[in-house]
Structure 1
Amino acid sequence: MADDPYLYYRVATFVAMYCGYTLYYFNRKTFAFVLPSLLNDVHMEKDDLGLIVSSLALAYAISKFVSGLLTDMLSARLLFPLGLALVGLMNILFSRSSSVEVFTAIWFANGLAQGFGWPPCAKILRQWFPPSQFGTWWAMLSTSMNVAGSVGPLVAAWLVPSLGWRGLMAGAGVVALGTSGMAFTVIREKPTDVGLAPIPGVGGTEKGRGGKHEGSVMALLTSPYLWLLSSSYLVVFGAKSALSDWGQLVLIQEKGHSLITGSSFISALEFGGLVGSIVAGYLSDRAVAKVGLSSQGNPRHGLLLLMMAVMTLSLTLFRMIVGPDSSQLWILSLGFTFGFCAYGSISLFGVLANEASVPSLCGTAHAVVALSANVGGFLAGLPISTVAQHWGWNAAVGCTELAALLATVAFISMRNICTTMGRVKAD
């Protein structure tokens, strides 16, 4: 580390964000983790459970958008630990409550605090890592959600019998509070905060982007590239949400398979997503390292389009080829392939939105595309289930498949438009 003054701060900042965001996600899912034990203690109807879960989802969608905007105006180093401290506090308050109304209000507040997790991480990552490494570190940081989501249920199963659901939620909140202090102490927002030079390739110095630039929100919001990213992200995230939410039911109700096959399909999809995110980041970084970034097109586009096309093909095969006699290996392979390409594409959309905008507006750019993704997630819920109710699950999958095909074709035809967002020449 003595030979590389950046390495210490990069590692320390990344580890602090990784631990912090793992706890963000764990404290977002604690209600689900302790639900069986909670229902033995507090009587609630299914509608009550849905209300509590939906309150967090709504608040999170709002907060993530607002947080992206605030990240461009306030210190990302401050917002990240502040949100984590509030998340921990909400879990502690939840553990002390017993009524549905209070549960819902607290969980809504938890959703508001949750939005202050990822946008600051995205901005800090961009400041510390050059374009040729940004995608890989972005993908690595995103695996913190997979770690919390996979380890969380095991931790809950181990601790709830001895601590109770209240003890687990309170304990998770206390750990989050403590970690927020560590994060504030360790994280540095950008190299200049510790007397180091800015990272080459960040802030308008990329190959082919020369010249001094300043940011304009209007220029960002009127950029065709921003809306190409947003609309494509909406479709891909909606397709991912649709198959991860409804794929099990499609296999059981429409294709005649067992519950075990349906559950295994979802597990294969999620595992494929974990691998796909890392591979997408690494391979796209290699492309950037080889040819650099320019204002016309982006070397990451080739991999993104390939993944979108294969994702669409896997949807087609899932709808047309899978039947009652299909082997489990074939079904799991389709699930892995879909998850690999869908999550890989999702990872690339976030990277593209951040590096195409000027650093002072990367939070706003991420907020816009993330809001589009949340709209896609919403459309994958009630609208898709309504189509399935009237015309069957195959028709619902077909609608998702058609949207993915149109988005892929649109991106192919527009991939070489100007990718700079929000930049105006300084006087």
Structure 2
Amino acid sequence: MTHSTPGSLMAGAPLTKFHMILLLCCSFIMFFDGYDLIVYGSVLPTLMKEWNLGPDQAGWLGSAALMGMMCGALVLGSLADRVGRRPIIVHGTLLFSLAAIATGFAPNPDVFWALRFITGIFLGGVIPNVVSLMNELSPAAKRHTLTTIMLSIYSVGSIIATLVAMWILPLLGWRAVFFVSGISLLILPLIYRHMPESMAFLMNRGRAAEARKLLNRSAPSVDASSADWSLPAAKERESVSPAALFRAGRALGTPMIWVAFGMCMLMVYGLNTWLPKIMIASGFDLGSSLQFLVVLNIGATAGALAGGWLGDRFGNKKVLVAFFALAAISLLLLGMHPSPVLLNALLFLAGATTVGTLAVVHAFGADFYPAAIRSTGVSWCSAVGRLGAIAGPVLGGSLLAMNLPPEQNFFIFAAPGIVAIIAVLLVFTTRTSHKKDASQPGPVAAATHAGTN
């Protein structure tokens, strides 16, 4: 009698209450990720005045959390393939929440930079694992949709960060905006109680009893006795070394996904950090400039949700190419002095296809790697992509320091979209690997150069 793996049984099971609770827990984390990272752009004009920061200094300060995220993704994200996703997510959420609150007490730019860096370390460790876990434990038919819904909540956090800044800044100052992020501590009991461990991790560690409980929780209609609970053979357990990311036909795909991540993050964090300041330089007041940031992130939420729906139907690769093309076009048009109505429409489209695309590129990266190395793969994508995220605020600061016309800033931010299109087109996966998606704990994409997604 042939037995299915526990992961394949989970993938073929229907949507249950377990998946909704998992989506809720992961979405809460993504919400505060969006809040904690975008809050800097919301308070930046005020900080520059209070601490007499020049554009270059402000850009460097804005990169602190992103540098921390790169380090956290490399160290904590990869560590999860050895110690498990759950402990990294639970402890990381606690620590990034405390660090975010502490940022509100920073007495000077140096301490502010250090605390933002620490916040980024733990965010960088948590986010790749949340993405990997959601991707792995979701039913195959709903995997892209659930993962993208979760990632879209990042933009909701960004919107709330901007709205909170618009409301609190005039009343209580920028420090109170950071104190609000402490609300994330209230979700810790929910995460501690309901956040599961990875099925692939449990099976690879021989923890069959825990894996059986996880299967019963996630797919109560499935007969657990029909699963193969034996420990995978050593040869079947792929190494979690970063070198594994380049094996099995992934030598070209891995660096190209890194480039796509980097270009996407450059646009995302460059715009979210500097859009208010660029709009002020264009003649708008602070209130209007923050409203433009809200429009950008409303578009991001819509883009992420649409990207998930489109990705399930046409494939993430085609969606990414289309979104990156629209991102470049919308940013170019923003530099051509559009009317107020068209300006808001273009900002909405730019948000949908830059920040919104970040959700799709995460799903694309998670699809590319098998479950045994998925956390390492997504963590390295996120970590290397952070180089682009770091470059975004620094680039924006340098452009403003050069006193270029505001429209030229938009032209320059459009260029990464073109680079990202080329990178995505160079990522190849086989049709066979996608047929396995429905029977694996997560998408298995041991890529060859035989076809495209």
Q: Which range, TM-score by smaller chain?
A: 0.7 to 0.9
Residue 421 of structure 2 is aligned with which of 408, 411, 417?
408
Alignment of 1:102-251 (within 5 A): 104-152=113-161, 173=182, 175-190=183-198, 192=211, 194-196=213-215, 214-216=237-239, 217=241, 218-221=243-246, 223=250, 224-247=252-275
Alignment RMSD (CA, Å) = 4.2
Q: Which residue of 2 aligns with 1:291?
A: none
Distance 1:166 1:248 in 2: 19
Distance 2:365 2:405 in 1: 36
Does structure 2 retain, via aligned residues, the 8 Å contact 1:20–1:180? no
Q: Which residue of 2 aligns with 1:316?
A: 332
SS in 2 for 1:73: helix
SS in 2 for 1:116: helix
- What is the identity, as a one-letter code, of the residue corresponding to 1:344? G
Does structure 2 retain, via aligned residues, the 8 Å contact 1:82–1:180? no
Does structure 2 retain, via aligned residues, the 8 Å contact 1:385–1:396? no
% same residue: 18
Distance 1:337 1:385 in 2: 24
Alignment of 1:32-43 (within 5 A): none
Q: Which residue of 2 aligns with 1:306?
A: 322
Does structure 2 retain, via aligned residues, the 8 Å contact 1:20–1:183? no
Distance 1:247 1:158 in 2: 18
5+ residue gaps, structure 2: 1-12, 200-210, 223-234, 434-443, 448-453
Indicate how the Cα distance of structure 1 residues 300 and 80 shifts in structure 2: closer, same or farther if over 3 A, else same.
same
Is the deviation greater in 330-339 or in 309-318? 309-318
The alignment status of 1:81 with 2:90, answered yes or no, reads yes
- What is the identity, as a one-letter code, of the residue corresponding to 2:284? S
Does structure 1 retain, via aligned residues, the 8 Å contact 2:334–2:407? no
The alignment status of 1:278 with 2:301, answered yes or no, reads no
Distance 2:36 2:399 in 1: 34
Residue 258 of structure 1 is aligned with which of 281, 284, 287?
284
Give how far 1:382 is off: 3.1
CA deviation profile, 1:135-181 (whole Å, cap 9, x unmatched) = 221222123333333335666888899999989867854x5445323
Give how far 1:241 is off: 3.4
Distance 1:315 1:165 in 2: 29
SS in 1 for 2:82: coil
TM-score, normalised relative to structure 2: 0.70
Residue 382 of structure 2 is aligned with which of 370, 375, 390?
370
Distance 1:387 1:92 in 2: 31
Q: Which residue of 2 aligns with 1:22?
A: 31
TM-score, normalised relative to structure 1: 0.74
Does structure 1 retain, via aligned residues, the 8 Å contact 2:158–2:297? no
Distance 2:161 2:110 in 1: 26
SS in 2 for 1:56: helix
Q: Which residue of 2 aligns with 1:292?
A: none
Give how far 1:5 is off: 8.3
Q: Which residue of 1 aligns with 2:359?
A: 347
Distance 1:270 1:58 in 2: 22
Distance 1:164 1:261 in 2: 18
Q: Which residue of 2 aligns with 1:360?
A: 372
Indicate how the Cα distance of structure 1 residues 395 and 71 shifts in structure 2: closer, same or farther if over 3 A, else same.
same
Does structure 2 retain, via aligned residues, the 8 Å contact 1:274–1:340? yes
Does structure 2 retain, via aligned residues, the 8 Å contact 1:28–1:110? no
Distance 1:83 1:269 in 2: 28
SS in 2 for 1:117: helix
Distance 2:25 2:272 in 1: 30
Give how far 1:281 is off: 0.6
- What is the identity, as a one-letter code, of the residue corresponding to 1:277? A
Give how far 1:403 is off: 3.9
Distance 1:242 1:51 in 2: 12
Does structure 1 retain, via aligned residues, the 8 Å contact 2:34–2:155? no
Is the deviation greater in 308-317 or in 83-92? 83-92
Give how far 1:349 is off: 1.2
- What is the identity, as a one-letter code, of the residue corresponding to 1:196? L
Indicate how the Cα distance of structure 1 residues 82 and 331 shifts in structure 2: closer, same or farther if over 3 A, else same.
same
Q: Which residue of 2 aligns with 1:333?
A: 345
Distance 1:171 1:340 in 2: 26
Q: Which residue of 1 aligns with 2:450?
A: none
Give how far 1:30 is off: 7.3
Distance 1:387 1:57 in 2: 19
Indicate how the Cα distance of structure 1 residues 165 and 233 shifts in structure 2: closer, same or farther if over 3 A, else same.
closer
Give how far 1:235 is off: 1.9
